[in-house]
Amino acid sequence: MTIQQRARSKQINKLVTRVLLVFAALSITAAYFGFKYYSYIFAPNVINANNKNFLYITTGSDYEDVLVALEDGGFVNDINSFKWVADKKSYSNNIKPGRYLLKNDWSNNDVVNTLRSGNQTAIKVTFNNIRTMRELAGAISQYLECDSAALLEALNNEDNYKTLGFTKETAPAMFIPNTYELWWNTSPENFIKRMHKEYNKFWTDTRKQKAKEIGLTPSEVSTLAAIVDEETVKSDEKPKVAGLYINRLNKNIRLQADPTVKYAIGDFGVQRILTKDLKTESPYNTYLHAGLPPGPIRVPSVEGIEAVLNYAKHNYLYMCAKEDFSGYHNFATTLKQHNINARKFQRALNKNRIYR
């Protein structure tokens, strides 16, 4: 091999070596950045050991608000890697409010996909033993994003009921006490619509048929059930009380239900109804007006509704609280016997110095 050929061979070897070194450097760099970005996307980044912490994104939040919530809540190890993935997936333009469960060891990809899709976790909302719309608003606002003032305003707005077939007076019948799964950011108006949907589910064909046989509409059943609920807390007595009022309705006798008087005077706390109370002018005062009042005097319980639909058949027309304050009642078929029972109770009130 000539000197010239040897020189050329050395040059080629040097060139190959350089190429290989450059290739190796590029490969190492590519591997480094590949691993880095793979980690950004798929490596665990959520800190939530018990899988019980929820990220709340309020209505109207922007991307910066979400980042603050993630950082302040201590949800992620590395906020910068989250930002990188969020940017690549255009999350900043897809902010959806809600209540999100971020599971322990989730990757940025898991988090962004969940938040961007609005795949929030429902919340269980329970309400029962509700008398007024104010109480209902207070109970529901404990679970949802909206405050009690906004809820109460919607609950008292008759326009929200017109298309649903209810009036402001009959509206309490629409809220069936139970536990429901709702989105945390459910608006007051959508809450009402959801309750109407649940009302329709509750009133099955079987229940509607029972109401028809009694001669009442579902709303009227609820109106009577509300009175039954206020008359007694004793489950075993409710069908009996319901039967008494149905007897009076069928005989066109005024209901003369004390709870309707309490509603009329605006005080359910009184233990003694006075003669002046019976003269309170109100369409809800069943001592003055025949038939059922315009609507429920409270949100009726499911137990109360079932008591009306499955009322006890008997001949009683009168009832009075027992003088032993047990919560039960003395029932009578005649006014004479009722007056005797009433005097027993009045003496018990006097003895215990209960004058109001």
Interval 104-147: pLDDT, tens: 889 999 999 999 999 999 999 999 999 999 999 999 999 999 99
Q: Which domain holds residue 81?
A: 54-117
- Give domain status of residue 79, yes or no: yes
Q: Of 202, 218, 245, which closes a domain?
A: 202
Q: Judge whether residue 315 has pLDDT over 80.
A: yes
Verify that 323 and 214 share a domain, yes or no.
yes
Q: How many domains are contained in the chain?
A: 3
Together in a domain, 266 and 323: yes
At 262-283, the pLDDT tens digits run 999 988 888 878 889 999 999 9
pLDDT, position 52? 64
Same domain, 248 and 341: yes
Q: Which whole number is the average pLDDT over 248-260?
A: 96
Q: Are β-strands 178-182 and 318-321 bridged in parallel, bridged antiparallel, or unpaired?
A: unpaired
What's residue 17's pLDDT? 57
For residue 64, the model assigns a pLDDT of 95
**Residue range 36-63: average pLDDT?**
79
Tell me the Ramachandran region of residue 215: left when phi exceeds 0, alpha when psi lies from -120 to 50, beta otherwise.
left
Tell me, yes or no, whether 132 and 109 share the same domain.
no
Judge if 229 and 347 occupy the same domain: yes
Which of helix, strand or coil describes residue 290? coil
Structure tokens at 275: 């003669």
Higher per-residue confidence, 16 vs 158:
158
CA gap 266, 251 in Å, rounded: 29
Same domain, 209 and 347: yes
Confidence of residue 2 (pLDDT cuts 50, 70, 90): low
Residue at which a domain ends, from 167, 202, 237: 202
Residue-wise pLDDT tens digits, 133-142: 999 999 999 9
Residue 182 placed within a domain: yes
pLDDT digits (tens, 9 = 90+) for 21-41: 544 444 455 444 444 555 678
Percent of the chain surpassing pLDDT 90: 72
Residue 168 pLDDT greater than 60, yes or no: yes
143 plus 245 within the same structural domain: no
Q: Give the Cα separation of 146 and 166 in Å (integer).
A: 23
Residues 219, 167 share a domain: no
- Residue 233 shares a structural domain with residue 339: yes
Task: Specify the CATH number for the domain of residue 103.
Answer: 3.30.1490.480
With H, G, I as helix, E, B as strand and everything else as coil, classify residue 103: coil
321 DSSP β-pair partners: 329
% of the chain beyond a pLDDT of 70: 87
Does residue 42 belong to any structural domain of this protein? no
Does the structure show a pLDDT above 70 at 102? yes
| Structural domain ending residue among the three candidates 202, 219, 253 | 202
Q: Is residue 92 part of a domain?
A: yes
Domain membership of residue 346 (yes or no) is yes
In a domain, 39, yes or no: no
**Would 48 be classed as within a structural domain?**
no
Dist. CA 257–CA 245, nearest whole Å: 9
